[in-house]
Structure 1
Amino acid sequence: MLDALTLDQIRTFVAVADSGSFRAGAGSLSRAQSGVSVAVANLEAQLGLLLFDRSGHRPVLTPQGEALLADARDILLRVDAMRARARGFGDGVELRLSIVVDTLFPLSAVGAALAGMRAHYPSVAIRLEVQPLGGPLQALTDQRCTLAIMVGEDFRDPRISFEALSPVSQVAVVAAGHPLAAGRGLGVPDLADHVQIVLSDPTALSEGRDFGVLSPQSCRVTSQDAKHALILSGVGWGRLPLWLVEDDLSSGRLVRLPTTALGRDGQVQAQSYLARRLDQPFGPAARSFAAALTESCRA
């Protein structure tokens, strides 16, 4: 009788699997342990198989339980997304719109979209943060923002939807007076002999990974402004978004690194995305901002 399955049973199954025990699962659901055990047992009876091996001190997922856990998560994700969408239809205008923007994305585009949104919803308060690397995704998963603008495909989560905006170019640059500026046909060994200015991830999402770090002599900073300032001052080299350094390149304060080890003409391109949680309501102000930003990126 698969039609007798309930969302409560499926949610309880996932809670026990995530927490590692019936007791901890009951605590996460604020329910009695006996009720959680009964819900999982009823689910097993309806499915006709065991989801957990209970022979040890703690319940362990059976191979069938492991396989069905992904389906259970997908069901809950879709149901939560449907509920959020339904709430959004009935909700009024948000009191506040919180946005976290990747450091690589031009804030001028964000500002223009916010101005457009406020023309229609002037009472909505705005909270804007700029974060590198995993910061925007972490803010979404922690529910600290309504929307995030992310660049690249390094960070993903099944609870988050992504809508492509526009490509963002990064260029490898160095100050005009830096020794690397006078080089020709530089290779990785040449770059490794000099300090590379690198952004640090404020989250643990990139733990154990380095993105584009070629030099063992790295100087890690916490903001794009700091990275830009150190490169301009001649401390080292690094990649910066093209929109940020166009004036510096035109004036000669910065020069592109003459190397093909960092992309053609020292330039690489990544796609930017507007991201939001599938299980959170999307109010009219957020929809207005998203539409304005998407339209400006297509222009």
Structure 2
Amino acid sequence: MLDNITIDQLRVFIAAAEEGSFSAAGRKLHKVQSAISYAISNLEENLGVHLFDRSKRSPQLTIIGEQMLKRANIIVAQVEQLHLHAHSLHQSMETDLCICIDSMFPLNILPKVCSEFKFVFPNIPLSIYTEDKKTIKERIQKQTCHLGFICSENDLLEPFLSKEIGSVHMTCAVSPKHRLAQKKDILNTDLLDELQIQVNDLESKDLKKSQLSNRSWTINNFICQRELLKSGIGWGLIPKHLIVEDLKLKSLIDIDLQDLKPQTTNIPIVALCKKDTPLGPSAIWLLEKMEHSLNSDKNI
């Protein structure tokens, strides 16, 4: 008997429960009341239970009916998801989307972009991983990631399809307690004897280019660098978007180097994917939104 249950019967049952009467359910579903009554009677017969108490003026859900309503909603939602999934496959839509970002990527743009993604592509699961640059490239090559976002020079990404979509502004930051904070018109030569705190998530070429002091410490993440800078141990080049609040609170200050080269303070943000694997519609949409957000946010 269970094989005779239809999705249409479940939809009628849900509508009758939500609208409070068979006639209201009929109006909602554009069916005559007799069709609603017939569908619910057949559903009750197939299930072997009474879903509604018809002894009152308006049918009321029985205790069993209340429990069955929860299950009916789940089943109908799953069937609708199945239809949408099939439609996505027919339209060459991805069944899922995985992106990887490096530690320098401005995370503050993600909430808005992801919120819009959820609305536009409600049936596509999105996975986001923060990885080092080497791992991002490996995952794209192995096709365990569709789209990567790396803050690095474009010429380091030759094996991939890549596009520069923005840049991260690096600022020279120190604690107000540091002696560099007391100086004005600082030149690169003033940094030679100061301890520089560097992050090794940059590619080796970038790391060497950004070393301006004779003495340096190397760590593997910007969170640690930020805390060391706040302690006054040394100075460092750090993405400005990571220390916006520190600058407001004056726990860090940015120093203006007179002869710092632009390529040292502006690191390109590059999107990359596998050359022989075209991006699907949701990945293309996400890429365009990321680019727009990166170029609209003044704190990056």
Q: TM-score normalised to the size of structure 2?
A: 0.59
Question: In 1, Cα distance between the equivalents of 2:227 and 2:206?
Answer: 27
Contact 1:172–1:262 (8 Å) recurs in 2: no
1:166 aligns with 2:166: yes
Match of residue 130 from structure 1 = 130
Contact 1:134–1:155 (8 Å) recurs in 2: no
Match of residue 111 from structure 1 = 111
Question: In 2, Cα distance between the equivalents of 1:98 and 1:263?
Answer: 35
Match of residue 32 from structure 1 = none
Question: In 2, Cα distance between the equivalents of 1:143 and 1:192?
Answer: 44
Out of 266, 269, 276, the residue aligned to residue 279 of structure 1 is 276
Contact 2:96–2:125 (8 Å) recurs in 1: yes
Q: How does 1:5-20 map to 2 (within 5 A)?
A: none
1:241 aligns with 2:216: no
Question: In 1, Cα distance between the equivalents of 2:173 and 2:90?
Answer: 50
Q: Considering only CA atoms, is the larger Rg found in Structure 1 or Structure 2?
A: 2
Contact 1:161–1:277 (8 Å) recurs in 2: yes
Question: In 1, Cα distance between the equivalents of 2:206 and 2:295?
Answer: 36
Q: How does 1:46-57 map to 2 (within 5 A)?
A: none
Out of 205, 212, 215, the residue aligned to residue 214 of structure 1 is 212
Question: In 1, Cα distance between the equivalents of 2:266 and 2:206?
Answer: 23
Q: After superposition, what is the alpha-carbon deviation per residue over 1:219-264, rounded to whole angstroms, capped at 9, x for unaligned?
A: 2111121111211122211111122222222322111224224348
Post-superposition shift, 1:101?
1.5
Structure whose residues are more often helix by fraction: 2
SS in 2 for 1:111: helix
Q: Structure 1 135/193 Cα, relative in aligned 2: closer, same or farther at 3 Å?
A: farther
Question: In 1, Cα distance between the equivalents of 2:158 and 2:144?
Answer: 17
Match of residue 6 from structure 1 = none
Q: TM-score normalised to the size of structure 1?
A: 0.59
Out of 230, 233, 237, the residue aligned to residue 232 of structure 1 is 230
Question: In 2, Cα distance between the equivalents of 1:173 and 1:273?
Answer: 24
Post-superposition shift, 1:272?
1.9
Q: Structure 1 201/179 Cα, relative in aligned 2: closer, same or farther at 3 Å?
A: same
Matched pairs, number: 209
Q: How does 1:51-70 map to 2 (within 5 A)?
A: none
Post-superposition shift, 1:140?
2.8
Q: Structure 1 116/221 Cα, relative in aligned 2: closer, same or farther at 3 Å?
A: same
Q: After superposition, what is the alpha-carbon deviation per residue over 1:160-194, rounded to whole angstroms, capped at 9, x for unaligned?
A: 12223223211111011112211233333431222
Contact 2:154–2:162 (8 Å) recurs in 1: no
Q: Structure 1 156/119 Cα, relative in aligned 2: closer, same or farther at 3 Å?
A: same
Match of residue 187 from structure 1 = 187
RMSD over aligned Cα, in angstroms? Answer: 3.1
